[in-house]
Amino acid sequence: MFDHLIGPALRLLDPETAHGVTLKALGMGLGPRAEAPEDPILAIRLWGRDFANPLGLSAGFDKDAAVMAPMLRLGLGFVEVGSITPRPQPGNPKPRIFRLPEDGAVINRLGFNNGGLAQAQARLTAFREHQAAGGLPSGNRGLVGINLGKNKETEDAAADYEKGAAALGPLADYLVVNVSSPNTPGLRALQGRAELEALLGRVMDALPAPAPPLLLKIAPDLTEEDKQDIAAVCLAQGVSGIIATNTTIQRPASLKAAARDEAGGLSGRPLFAPSTAVLADLYRLTEGRLPLIGVGGITSGADAYRKIRAGASLVQLYTALIYRGPALVWRIKRELAGLLREDGFETLAAAVGADHRYGG
């Protein structure tokens, strides 16, 4: 139905309108529901949490924590909401999302548009209450990560992340410090060693007790020195994991779509190779001591498997859902389970970082 009716109809709308229609439909309970049981080979335990499968929704889709339950009902192992800033902000001027269908990609320059901390806190509190009352499918633990950003005008960036961590930490299965969006001026400069040490130190001090896992989301557009510094800082500061990667500001020569030169972050298929390379580098630089979430260009179970073998314990997708629809979730899980068994792995965890041990 998505391939032949819903998808083509949505693509007749401009991208941001189509996204809004999708969120409204999900909020009205019109989204599909996965009924098949999870394959046990896909289960993994991280940070004291049990993930029924490693496939999650990346930040950016549900910026305002409005459709967590409907997305989990698709069969995802977890969802990540945000980025959430302390104060509401409208983001950058429209148009600010551009489809590149020939390339299986999207360019966005949204600029952390969201309804702010108070709205997200209220919705997450209601979700947790609904979850505690048994409002999610049997066996669905409702794992939710919360991605934190800073307001555009804030000069003391760490203060914004401190506010988000303190307020939303009690509601999160993990928190993410997002310093890698290309659409907020100066944000990526926070990935420098001195800036990152100071920022993470302040955010960790602001975490509530008991503290949720704190992850860092990084850009794909990094030098070797940048990656070395990020790995060293994360290990020294006791960060719980790294998400690799956000969108890229690079424009591969292979891009065909008319919108290829629009400003913003490029996501989707062209991001797969560079983001996977950064992921592999971070696994090597951290010696496999930090759980990594691989995101960027996943469109199949084989893509997810390559990220896992490169070092990812969990993987996320978003752009591929725009073009392939919700059935992609179960397709990826089925293919991934088959690939794990084909290569003789009895658990997902055994395959994490396999390329570093056995070669790719």
Q: Is residue 351 a contact partner of residue 313, using CB atoms and an 8 Å limit?
A: no
Q: What is the chain's pLDDT, residue by residue, as a tens digit (360 residues)?
A: 555 567 678 878 899 999 999 999 999 888 888 878 899 999 999 999 999 999 999 999 999 999 999 999 999 999 999 999 999 999 999 999 999 999 999 999 999 999 999 999 999 999 999 888 887 755 456 799 999 999 999 999 999 999 999 999 999 999 999 988 887 888 788 888 888 999 999 999 999 999 999 999 999 999 999 999 999 999 999 999 999 999 999 999 999 999 999 999 999 999 999 999 999 999 999 999 999 999 999 999 999 999 999 999 999 999 999 999 999 999 999 999 999 999 999 999 999 999 998 766
Smallest Cα–Cα separation from 323: which of 300, 293, 305, 294?
A: 300
Neighbouring C-beta atoms of residue 359, cutoff 10 Å: 7
Residues marked as catalytic: 181
pLDDT score at 43:
97
Q: Which residue has the tokens 């990084």?
A: 218
Chain Cα centroid distance, residue 241: 13
pLDDT score at 360:
63
pLDDT score at 184:
85
Q: Which residues share a beta bridge with 138?
A: none
Rounded CA separation 241/292 (Å): 6
Element of type H or E holding 218? strand 214-218
Rounded CA separation 122/138 (Å): 24
DSSP 230: H
pLDDT score at 139:
47
Smallest Cα–Cα separation from 54: which of 347, 356, 320?
A: 347
Rounded CA separation 106/100 (Å): 5
Question: What is the dihedral sign for C-alpha 216, 332, 221, 312?
Answer: positive
DSSP 155: S
pLDDT score at 183:
75
